[in-house]
Amino acid sequence: MGRIERLAKEHTDFTRRYFLKLGAAGAAAITTSRLWAQEDKANRLLTEAVSKLEYLTREENFITYGRGDPPPHKLPLEKLREVGLVRESWQLEVLPDPDSNAKVERPLSKAQGTALNWDAFMKLAEKHAVRFMSVTTCTNGRAPCGMGLWEGVPLREVVWLTRPAANVRRLFYYGYHNEDPKQRFQSSLPIGRVLEDPPGEHPVILCYKLNGQWLTIDRGGPVRMLVPDAYANKSVKWLQHIILTNNYQANDTYALWNNDTVSHLKTCARFIHVPKKIKAGQPAPVTGVAQVGMSGLSRVQYWLHPQDGPLPKNDPYFTKAEWKDADMLPPPKHWGGGLPDGKLPPIPRQIDADTGKPYSWPIRNAIVHWAALITAHRPGQYALRCRTIDANGIAQPMPRPFAKSGNNSIQSKRVIIEK
C-alpha cells in the first residue's frame, strides 16, 4: 500500500466515524458518497484530497516558489556548495546599512571573517531554539502553500551578536540570487517586531528545520527567515544577508509589485473535497481547510444555492445569504507531515507539555480542517460557497477584503444535483 493510499484509508476511517456520529443522515452519506468507495477503487481526486487533510504538510507537498535562472533550488549540488547553500558552507552576514547612519560594534562580515557559520549557529540553537506550528501562504495565493512545524533560532539572538549601538529602525534581508540584483528577493521588518513579540505571537526565527528534518533546498534551506504572523513574502528563503538600517521605509520586493507588505495573515475558508455530482435528497460530505489568521476563528460556514437563482441585492459579500455552520474537526491524534508515528517532538510552543494537547483550538496563524453534509432536494446546477466567521464575529472577506493584502475571497464550487 502506497503512502497516499494508506493516508486515504486512515482518513476515510476517521471521517466515517465522524459522519456516523451524525446519525441516520451520516449513514446515508456513507452509502451514497464516493468517499466510501473501496480503497483499491479510490479515484485520484479522493487520494489527493485526503493527502492534503494531513494536518502538517509533508515537505515534498509544499508549494515551491523561487526566482532566478535557474532558481536556487534547481542548482546542482557542487554549485550549492560553492555559493553557500549547504550547511557546511553556509554563512550569514549581518551588517550596518552603508547608506544610513546605523551603528553596530561587531558586524558579522565575510570580509572580516566574522560572518555566522553553521557551527556557531548550531551553538546558538542549543540554547535558544524554539518550535511552533505555522501556516505559510503566498500573499496572492488562493490556498496555503503548506502547514509546518518549524524550528529555529529567534532572529533577535543573532541581531544582538552584532551589538547594535544606535540608529537601527529596520532590518533589510535577502537570500542568494545568482549575484544578479534583478533576481534578488528581499523583505524587511521593523526592529521592534524582531526584538519583542506581541502578546500571543511567536518570535521571528532563522529557521533550519521543518517537521523535525533539516530544511531542504526546496524549502529555502539551509536557513530561511520565518515570520509566523505574516504572509510568506516576509519569510525569505536561502537567507544569507541581513542589513541593519536607520531607513524607516520598507524595501520589500513585493512593494514594487503593488502588494501590502505588512499584512497579517487573514482568516478564510477553502474547500478540499467537493463531490461534483450528488443525488437529489441525499446528503454528501464536503471537507475543507480554514486558515486561522490574526483575528482567530469562531465558525466555518457553507451556502448551497441554485446556480441560476437570485443573489442577495447590494450584498457583494453575501452577508444576507442562508449560511449554515460546518463542523471544525478537533486536534488530530496523528499530526502527519512525515513525523515518526505522526507524533510531535517536544515541545512546540502551542502544545501543553503535561497533556500533549494544544493550549487552544484552533491555533492562530495555523489551519483547522472542517466538514459538512450538504443536501439539495431539487435537481439542477448549484453553487457551493464557504466562509469563516472570525473570533470578533466578522465574516470573510471582511474586515480586510483587499486582495493585495492577502487573498481571502469567498470560494465557490459548482455542484450538479441529479435525479
pLDDT exceeds cutoff 50 at 22: no
Instruction: Please give the share of the chain, as a percent, with pLDDT higher than 70.
Output: 87
Query: How much is the mean pLDDT over the chain?
Result: 88
80-83: list long-range contacts, CB under 8 Å, 24+ apart: 80/217, 83/176
Cell of 394: 466578522
Task: Give the SS3 label for residue 350.
Answer: coil
What is the per-residue pLDDT across 173-207, written as a single tens digit (0 to 9) for each?
Answer: 999 987 777 788 999 999 999 999 999 999 999 99
Distance CA 339, CA 149 (A): 10
What is the per-residue pLDDT across 342-395, written as a single tens digit (0 to 9) for each?
Answer: 999 887 899 998 898 999 999 999 999 998 889 999 999 999 999 999 999 999
pLDDT at site 208: 98
Span 326-351, mean pLDDT?
90
**Under 8 Å between Cβ of 271 and 122:** no
Closest CA to 351 of 363, 340, 336: 363
H helix intervals, 210-270: 253-256
pLDDT at site 67: 78
In the 3-class helix/strand/coil scheme, how is 28-43 assigned residue by residue?
HHHHHCHHHCCHHHCC
pLDDT at site 169: 97
CATH class of this structure's domain 266-418: mainly beta
What is the per-residue pLDDT across 223-277, written as a single tens digit (0 to 9) for each?
Answer: 999 999 999 999 999 999 999 999 999 999 988 888 998 899 999 999 998 999 9
pTM across the whole model: 0.87
Higher pLDDT, 353 or 85: 85
pLDDT exceeds cutoff 90 at 25: no
Rounded to whole angstroms, what are the CA distances from 305 to 209, 289, 418? 45, 21, 14
What is the per-residue pLDDT across 143-158, written as a single tens digit (0 to 9) for each?
Answer: 999 999 999 999 999 9
pLDDT exceeds cutoff 80 at 8: no
Span 285-314, mean pLDDT?
94
Task: Give the SS3 label for residue 365.
Answer: coil
- The CATH code of domain 64-256 reads 3.90.420.10
**Under 8 Å between Cβ of 100 and 245:** yes
pLDDT exceeds cutoff 80 at 4: no
User: Which residue ranges make up each domain of the chain?
Assistant: 64-256, 266-418
What is the per-residue pLDDT across 41-65, written as a single tens digit (0 to 9) for each?
Answer: 323 433 444 445 689 999 999 988 8
Q: How far apart are the first and last CA of the chain?
A: 36
Residue matched to cell numbers 560572518: 115
- DSSP codes, 375-410: --SS-EEEEEEEEEE-TTSPBTTTT---GGG---PP
Angle formed by the axes of helices 44-52 and 3-20, nearest 10°: 80
Instruction: Report which secondary-structure segment, H or E, holds 121.
Output: helix 118-128
